[in-house]
Amino acid sequence: MIVQRIRRVVDGVAENLGRSTAALTAPTRHFDPAHPWFLTATERGNDDTRITAWTEGNRVENLVHGKTYFAALAQALARTERDDLVLFTDWRGDPEQLLTDDGVTVEDALTGVAHRGGVVKGMVWRSHMETFGFTGPKNRKLALRLEEAGGEVILDQRVLVTGSHHQKFVVVRYGRKDLPDVAFVGGIDLARARRDDADHFGDPVSRPFPPEYGEIPAWHDVQVQLEGPAVRDVEDVFRERWEDPAALSRLPWHAVPDMLRGVTREPSELPTAAAPPDPQGTCSVQLLRTYPRRRPAYPFATKGERSAARAYAKALHRATELIYIEDQYLWSVDVARVFAAALRRKPNLRLVVVVPKHLDDDSPLTIPSALLGHSAALEVIRAAGGDRVLVLDI
């Protein structure tokens, strides 16, 4: 039985890796004259989702660095009143993380919404074993604190056995015409070490890192603030995941401790969705996602979704002069081959890549394989582009 289960896990990982590679290398022949860089609904490759191909009339602002984002988030949450709706997802959530200079924490801001009569619903990753350096206890603590305040947070492990939930966004629907609804989408968790700024002296509320980073490491990341119809698309990403009927975790060593601690095991029904917000700006926005082909299947992605990879492939196919990448890892040789193909196809194309010099993980399980994959991927790109490739680290 154990051997069969391991074989199923390995086969599932191989299948999903193959689908990611196929998505990156798939030809892109469909173009909408209005938005030739966007994926068409057909190119998304997922007929099950409720989100739109893209939306028009949005206001979009890049919030570079955690300090900028956290200040905007704290302000948006502080404006909520009774019956306003706050939805959030997180990979890692630390209740004690500061959002502002005057001491407002993640816990303060979210429980404050609930105390004012707002509706707070969250999904944070259930996480793997704590002994491997994962974040389960902190995520569970955040969930329990918000439950005590009247919110509802689920610990979500409806992924492949070796997978994780990595979506990081917050949606605020005010229900008042004088205040535009807002969504924040990007790479920044509600977590320690993220609240850095352009000076990069780091976040005083830090956490352990490999010694190369020092006691208070710098952290560069970005979140995007959206206002307009795209907010409803972000909300629908949340609703699709929340309404997934699969068990939050099928592993008894997850379920039993959660039940004993009083963590929510059956999500309640969400409030009825409001109409998409009115236009607020001039930007067109398309949401991209990555979901595995899971068993039992996601109702909103029965064959999985690889729109992030497909969008990369389409952009690389259209690029003629410059591709600029900031990436946390760039470990995959399969991904590197797609960049290499673009460089060979376009002799005037240049590629600039910014990657960290050191991993932010000191686990003996991940360092050797990560360094090997990282080196191999960069060699594939350099071999294709020669002096048209510039790789930088900080």
* Model confidence, pTM: 0.89
Task: Enumerate the H helices of 243-326 as residue ranges.
Answer: 252-261, 307-318
Peptide bond into 296 cis (omega under 30): yes
Please give the pLDDT value at position 3: 38
Q: What is the pLDDT of residues 129-149, one digit of tens each?
A: 554 445 567 778 888 899 999
Please give the pLDDT value at position 7: 43
Is 133 in contact with 179 (CB distance < 8 Å)?
no
Lowest-pLDDT range of 42-51, 104-113, 168-177, 358-367: 358-367
Instruction: Show the tokens assigned to 202.
Output: 């780091």
The whole-angstrom separation of Cα 171 and Cα 85 is 8
Q: What is the pLDDT of residues 57-103, one digit of tens each?
A: 999 999 999 999 999 999 999 999 999 999 999 998 999 999 999 99
Please give the pLDDT value at position 22: 65
Mean pLDDT value across residues 269-275? 96
The domains of the chain, with CATH numbers, are 2-39+305-392 (no CATH), 55-285 (3.30.870.10)
Residue type for position 267: P
Mean pLDDT value across residues 357-377? 74
Q: What is the pLDDT of residues 154-196, one digit of tens each?
A: 989 888 877 778 899 999 999 998 999 999 999 999 999 999 9
DSSP strand E in 53-205: where? Answer: 55-64, 85-90, 119-125, 152-156, 169-173, 182-186
Who's near 279: CB < 8 A, 6+ residues apart? 56, 57, 58, 228, 229
**CA separation, residue 241 to residues 12, 122, 185 (Å):** 20, 11, 16
Lowest-pLDDT range of 26-30, 209-213, 294-298, 364-368: 26-30
With the C-alpha atoms ordered 172, 158, 328, 132, is the resulting torsion angle positive or negative?
positive
Does the structure show a pLDDT above 70 at 363? Answer: no
Who's near 111: CB < 8 A, 6+ residues apart? 145, 146, 148, 149, 151
Q: What is the pLDDT of residues 224-255, one digit of tens each?
A: 999 999 999 999 999 999 999 998 876 666 66
